[in-house]
Amino acid sequence: MFQFTVEHKSTENQGRCGRLVTPHSRIETPVFMPVGTQATVKTMTPESLVAIGFPIILSNTYHLYLRPGHEIVAEAGGLHSFMNWPGSILTDSGGFQVFSLSALRKVEEDGVVFRSHIDGSRHFFTPERVMEIEMALGADIAMVLDECLPYPSPYEAAKAAQERTTRWARRCRERHCKTNQALFGIVQGVTYPDLREKSAKELVELDFPGYAVGGLSVGEPKPLMYEMLEITVPMLPEDKPRYLMGVGSPDTLWEGVARGIDMFDCVFPTRIARNGTAMTSEGRVIVRDAKYARDFSPLDPNCSCPTCQQYTRAYLRHLFKAGEVLGLILLTYHNLYFLHTLMSQIRRALREGSFEQERREFFARYYKTTEK
């Protein structure tokens, strides 16, 4: 039901191509997973995600637990059935969301107390409780409850959170008992190399079918994130998938893959789309810009997506200026298509040994630089 195979290893860097088989799809890695926070990838129909070719999406345990409630999702036959998504799903553990609530939560050894962002009601997440919720949601991949600290954090706090994350991971491992769902561990340790190493080592001893690197892309400088990957990834088993949580800008995808990451997720492409920003082969395009009022060319002349094949920058600008939902739909589709196509390019480049050259060419076109 859950199988990961490394099919090709780059000779240029730590990157690799693999295949991840879950109960709902066969996933070519490295893969980018769109985020469907509330059981829908914002503004997209499942049919559109299938048409683009996404084999897996992410959904958020914290949000679904609060609304509509995991019992309702379970009664609907699980999350796939509830939201009509035929592919795979990964649910996070809610840890990141809960720890983002700052004033609204309190951490104890047993678990974390927090208040709902919807109605202020009080809730308690323990590792065991989160496993029950994630098993009820029924995703193909579940994540352990972790303690995710902000950047920067003092060493002692980082150490305590890392050690608690290991203890919670063990409790999650013990409680989890859904055979058609894989449970991934999450490496923490903020930006302290020794804590990252210790976290990876302790989690690997628990023998998870996959490992995430968490607590990165939370405000630290990118070189520091890459350094943490260079320390952490070599500590993880070669034959298990490695997932970098919350990362999805084009540069970090290239850099993450080069450091051995297999899976990514991020709200970035869908969120900037709703703000009117498109990722194109020539860099970002802000569609509201007055200079596009009479620009009857496609958003991206090198893109084959329906938005670029059928609509002009002038029309997209009009939709955003007029506040029309179709603008959100068309730009979200394009941005997701762009990242999906980028991941295909990255996998091909890994296989063909042209990764470093293509990365430089991409950065030159997209960022007008060879380094980012």
Which residues sit at the interface with its own copies, rule CB under 8 A?
38-40, 42-47, 63, 67-68, 72, 75-77, 82-84, 293-294, 296, 306, 310-312, 314-315, 317-319, 321-322, 324-326, 328-330
The four Cα atoms 194, 262, 9, 230 give a dihedral, to 10 degrees, of -20
| 355 membership: H or E segment, kind and range | helix 355-366
Whether 265 sits among the annotated catalytic residues: the reply is yes
CB of 46 to its own copies, least distance (A): 8
Of residues 103 and 118, the one with the C-beta less far from its own copies: 118
> SS3 for 176?
coil
> SS3 for 67?
coil
CB of 162 to its own copies, least distance (A): 34
Which of these is catalytic: 92, 140, 146, 262? 92
CB of 302 to its own copies, least distance (A): 20
Of residues 155 and 296, the one with the C-beta less far from its own copies: 296
The four Cα atoms 36, 242, 18, 32 give a dihedral, to 10 degrees, of 30
Which of these is catalytic: 140, 146, 262, 265? 265
Q: Which amino acid is at 117?
A: H
Nearest to 220 by CA among 267, 152, 155: 152
Give Cα separations from 357 to 11, 341, 364, 368, 370 (angstroms).
Answer: 13, 17, 11, 15, 10
CB of 273 to its own copies, least distance (A): 12
CB of 362 to its own copies, least distance (A): 30
Of residues 67 and 348, the one with the C-beta less far from its own copies: 67
Of residues 123 and 196, the one with the C-beta less far from its own copies: 123
Instruction: Compute the distance between CA of residue 163 and CA of residue 146 in angstroms, rounded to an integer.
Output: 10
* Half-sphere exposure in the Cβ direction for 161 (13 Å, CA): 28
Of residues 294 and 365, the one with the C-beta less far from its own copies: 294
> Which positions are annotated as active-site residues?
92, 265
